Structure 1
């Protein structure tokens, strides 16, 4: 917070206050400044000279400058403690401010490795911790499903329902799901099936190893076009539903996780059917910023291959 100081009397000594404030302390500091400015003129003559003060409140040094730490704001800490990811991001100032704070290293209370949070990033170099993580709050999706993997985290499930309704109303067509949440054990089976059919190299281009899969978080879903009947996911990219999803998924809290042309960063072939729920705030920031991978969005290294 900065601004010009305009004393009421030329004879008054200058008071310079350098503050790095968390949001929750700003009102207190402003009130103190106004109290000084509003002293009666006759009282000013009795005041001793006020020295220049540098007040250093909680903050994090970024590029040699101490910036206010949003994690010191009680509104942020309360939202985190309540497990309310969207409220936490709003308390930061929205998706862009949240992303900027994380990338700058100025959000020590936020980790991109927490599998319970919508801002989690899991890829070939960022496994789940623990590897056999199992999310809580899984709900059955109220759409046609072509497999028995028809559950998602409640927030992702609600976002997908709204997305599918909007796509249908728009005339793009019906959307169903092929796969939602997959457990650690099911992911072992799924990946092993791809290895048997395509070898390890082929499997790694289209299936995640157990413990490295977004499906294991309950935040990822493979969608299919369901008009008279549901098609295969491999056919999804050529459908009207795919075009609509590419343009509008962000409005419902989703990003298309593995886009065409991003394999060198994600490590996976293009999957226009694979949607990842990050919540409305982050999805809007992702869309408006023109990002194409979560790696670039959060300033993380590309992850084209497993370490071992």
Structure 2
């Protein structure tokens, strides 16, 4: 967006127009922006540029531009009340617009701490609230599983099934799962086992403490490569399935949550097998924006360590 100065034409009469700026023209994509501009009467006069409002709160007038609150939109409110996360994101204008509104502080109806929503962010500084949260809808995944933890939220389960079917059909190979949903109590025992084997520091590099695990949301899954049998998750990164997942998971609403080179932000060692469901719209915005962590995507602080 140009920052060039457009002088007023003092010698010509002017009129005031209320201009609705489409989402694509708004720096923050906060929904519709309404601008009050003084337009010269001459038919060939240019409109003045719209000031950036990325840091402005809803309803604040900056340079004649007022950012509308997307949460006041009836379609957003209805979708949120119905628990229809994808419809709510669409009502914001899509994944990128949703993200920008959240970062700008212009979406008071959206909480990145709500564990029932696909946009929840869980890390070492953002525990689940409540710590013992349990998803309301879980179902078994129709894939080979190497542990009894074979359930996911139904939306994440359906997306994983489609992802695995396409991976196999494309020639990448068969996918199975190692872990899906894990309850608070199961995470207690899982983490304790890692502590016993590797100590606290070692455990914290590859296992979440209870109440701090994405698996507890029912939106995270560890996948494995399968042939005559399914392999270990530690071997997944060198498989054709891993390469396919890294390239295509976003098309099914998943992101690889703990990528190589991101440990200083996520707090975990690289886990090419750990997929996190955020839904198709947010996953597309994540991919198209070149993001590598949810912390960066939502403008959150890095979370390399637990606070205490």
TM-score normalised by L of structure 1 = 0.82
Cα contact 1:59–1:68 (8 A) shared by 2:
yes
Change in 2 beyond 3 A, CA 1:108/1:165: same
How far apart, in 1, do the equivalents of 2:79 and 2:61 lie?
Answer: 24
Change in 2 beyond 3 A, CA 1:16/1:280: same
Q: Which residue of the partner structure matches residue 263 of structure 1?
A: 263
Residue 22 (structure 1) shift: 11
Q: Which residue of the partner structure matches residue 241 of structure 1?
A: 241
How far apart, in 2, do the equivalents of 1:195 and 1:220 lie?
Answer: 22
Cα contact 1:20–1:66 (8 A) shared by 2:
no
Q: Which residue of the partner structure matches residue 79 of structure 1?
A: 79
Deviation digits for residues 221-240 of structure 1, max 9, x if unmatched?
A: 00000011100000000000
Q: Which residue of the partner structure matches residue 168 of structure 2?
A: 168
Name the SS of the counterpart of 1:16 in structure 2. Answer: strand
How far apart, in 2, do the equivalents of 1:60 and 1:198 lie?
Answer: 52
Pairing 1:59-70 to 2, within 5 Å after superposition = 59-61=58-60, 66-70=66-70
Gaps of 5+ in 1: 1-12, 30-57
* Aligned length, in residue pairs: 266
How far apart, in 2, do the equivalents of 1:275 and 1:62 lie?
Answer: 41
Cα contact 1:153–1:219 (8 A) shared by 2:
yes
Change in 2 beyond 3 A, CA 1:96/1:22: closer
Name the SS of the counterpart of 2:202 in structure 1. Answer: helix
TM-score normalised by L of structure 2 = 0.82
How far apart, in 2, do the equivalents of 1:131 and 1:203 lie?
Answer: 19
Name the SS of the counterpart of 1:59 in structure 2. Answer: coil
Change in 2 beyond 3 A, CA 1:109/1:235: same
Change in 2 beyond 3 A, CA 1:198/1:102: same
Name the SS of the counterpart of 2:187 in structure 1. Answer: helix
